[in-house]
Amino acid sequence: MSTPAAVAIAAAVLAKAALIDYRMPKPDDAVIEVWAEVFAGQQVWLAEAIDAVAVHYRQPEAPRLMPGHILKIVASLPLGANSSDDRINHWLGQCSRNPYSLAVEDRTGIAPPQWEPPTGLTIAESTDWASQQYRAWLLDNRDRLAHAVRTHTPRTGITSDRL
């Protein structure tokens, strides 16, 4: 089942690819829907998917574009200067699941505050409390963090945006 975001991505990708490659199908509703089903639930964002079309067709003798090509290319694009807000928001959401990860600091150079949980909490409650604090901090600092993702050189050895 597709989503409105996946439909928008499929339509844009197919429209751009059809301008480049005569072998592409006409991007009618049925073709868009089928491609959208492939994109639904995947880590693919509109700006990155559109960029992936150009990356694909820069290959000499590129085969006709398929949805899997887009997914593979988008997965290979580094998080950084050209990342869309949607992709950065997704990455921050992933980071929010682990309040003790150094991923945000490593990628942005911005350290989150260190919170002391209230006394009397169990380890699980303390972790839950820290997660809530971290999520709130990420949300409050989203614009600053997004800017840093685009402009900061990650620490040496940081080669992936995966957690």
Taking the C-alpha atoms of residue 79 and residue 48, their distance in angstroms, rounded to an integer, is: 10
81 CB burial (10 A radius; 0-12, 13-18, 19+): exposed
User: Could you read off the pLDDT of 16-33 as tens digits, one per residue?
Assistant: 999 999 999 999 999 999
pTM attached to this predicted model:
0.87
User: Could you read off the pLDDT of 111-162 as tens digits, one per residue?
Assistant: 999 888 999 999 999 999 999 999 999 999 999 999 999 999 887 655 555 5
CA distances from 61 to 15, 21, 76 (A): 20, 11, 20
**DSSP 3-state assignment of 126?**
helix
Query: What's the pLDDT at 40?
Result: 97
Amino acid type, 108: T
User: Could you read off the pLDDT of 62-110 as tens digits, one per residue?
Assistant: 999 999 999 999 999 999 999 999 999 999 999 999 988 999 999 999 9
Query: What's the pLDDT at 113?
Result: 93
